[in-house]
Structure 1
Amino acid sequence: MKQNYFTFAQRLKYIIGDSSLLSFSKKCNLSESAIRKYIREESEPTLQNLLTMAKVGNVSVAWLATGHDPFVSNADLLPQDTKNIVVTVPEIEFNNILAFTNNTLTPLEKKSNIITEWVLSRDWLYRSGLINEDLAIVQVPYNNMANTIKCGDIAVISLAKGDLTHVLAGIYIILLNNKLLIKRIQYDPIEDGYHLINDNETFKNHLIKQNDVTPFHVLAKIDHILTNISY
């Protein structure tokens, strides 16, 4: 299992390994000078560059960015009593989120709709403020948030509480006009409404006021995005 490595620069050196900076930078489609600045801690990578380097280095984005990987790499190596160490989180189809949040499925139906179960570190969930949340994992099917989240990314989500009182800002999965959408939501107290924002500028943004005849429903919050998970 990978060590934590204290700094980002040390973790970057780890994934570069025996490769030259030039070779690694070409694989990442980045300049050699940019990689060198990251190692010297003269600059920090953008989210997109971080995602790219993690993919090329075959590590999770979480580990490269923080030194902590929320996913246990080999469940078979865990002690027999893992109750206080890990939490299992179901992976579900994106289109099944509504059924899971509405509790319209029987326990048997829920079980049959689970693709697989992921093993997450209880300590990581606690530090992320997610230990008491109703969590699930989905694969992102859209590109409207492409500057932040891209199609195919793995998302750790917390299923919604059922109202908008807790929604001030963040990226959410919502139901609008009977469609499941991913939007960045920002509450606007002046307009008394919510801005529904796409990080991909080719998509149109919207403002929906509290008394709008076309309300939207929050189904889940996207808490973390992890690509190219390495086991």
Structure 2
Amino acid sequence: MSYVESDKTDAQDSEHPIPSGAIGCFRDRLKQIMGTVGARAFARGCGLSEGAIRSYLSGDTYPTLDRLEQIATANGVSAIWLAFGHEEKGLEDESDKYAYIPLYDASCSAGHGSWNEGCRVLTHLAFTRYSLRKKGLEPAHLSAIRVDGDSMEGLLKDGDTVLIDHRRNNLEGEAVYVIRLDDHLYAKRLQRQFDGSVSIISQNKAYQTMAVPKERLSELTIIGRVVWAASWMV
């Protein structure tokens, strides 16, 4: 399903179909489905303008019914839940069992500004809520991108899809993270050293390990920890 971006004026408080008592909660639910996604990327995924999304977040305007449905459909939730907070959040009876995680057209190769700035949502990946809960994962803080290159060959192949937990954006211990360094995105294994530096390790031994000294750690941004990966076997 495709959307055409629109900048038509949204309804004001007095004429909006969402009851005034539910409007503040609507903003909370909007923030919930946005998670860590920036307003620009989220708006693009919904087919709306960034200004419209920011206006909803600030409470200056509220979405009309067609826009409400547009936002809900693009994010795998029901418009009724988004507007009123009813427990049935899924688009269908079965969909309440699933969380829909955005897959961005970003890849672990290059990125500027916000990690997903200029990226669009290609599709949504369905995970059972039960499986995410078992791993302590919250859908609102997850996103997926594709791996670019062969530096992690043996663990991740070129074109593999990885799921990122954006809450885990501090080095907890040796693990694979999506990081940004010198305006490039990488999926790499990180290891903290005794002198406070961090080693950036490639699975493919053809690539040398990089070291970021303690005094330059501010130049290393951890986007999140890789918690799941998928690839084709053929």
Contact residue 85 and residue 123 of structure 1 kept, 8 A: yes
Contact residue 160 and residue 218 of structure 1 kept, 8 A: no
**Correspondence for 1:117:** 124
**Correspondence for 1:205:** 209
Deviation per residue, 1:153-206 (Å, 9 max, x gap): 121112256x53x43221111111122122100112x21121110110000102
**Correspondence for 1:93:** 105
Contact residue 102 and residue 121 of structure 2 kept, 8 A: yes
- Classify 1:149/1:177 alpha carbon distance in 2 versus 1 (closer, same or farther; 3 Å): same
Counterpart Cα distance in 1 of 2:219 and 2:140? 25
For 1:208, give the aligned amino acid.
V
- Select the structure with the greater relative contact order (CA < 8 A; seq sep ≥ 6): 1
- Classify 1:213/1:140 alpha carbon distance in 2 versus 1 (closer, same or farther; 3 Å): closer
- Classify 1:95/1:195 alpha carbon distance in 2 versus 1 (closer, same or farther; 3 Å): same
For 2:150, give the aligned amino acid.
N
TM-score w.r.t. length of structure 2: 0.52
- The percentage of aligned residue pairs carrying the same residue is 17
Work out which of the residue numbers 149, 157, 178 in structure 1 matches 2:156: 149
The secondary structure found in structure 1 opposite 2:215 is coil
Unmatched runs of 5 consecutive residues or more in structure 2: 1-89
| CA RMSD, 1 decimal | 3.1
Correspondences of 1:1-231 after superposition (within 5 Å): 80-82=92-94, 84-95=96-107, 113-131=120-138, 134-159=141-166, 164=170, 166-188=171-193, 190-212=194-216, 215-228=219-232
For 2:229, give the aligned amino acid.
I
Unmatched runs of 5 consecutive residues or more in structure 1: 1-77
Runs of 4+ in 1 over 3 A off after TM superposition: 95-105
Counterpart Cα distance in 2 of 1:177 and 1:201? 22
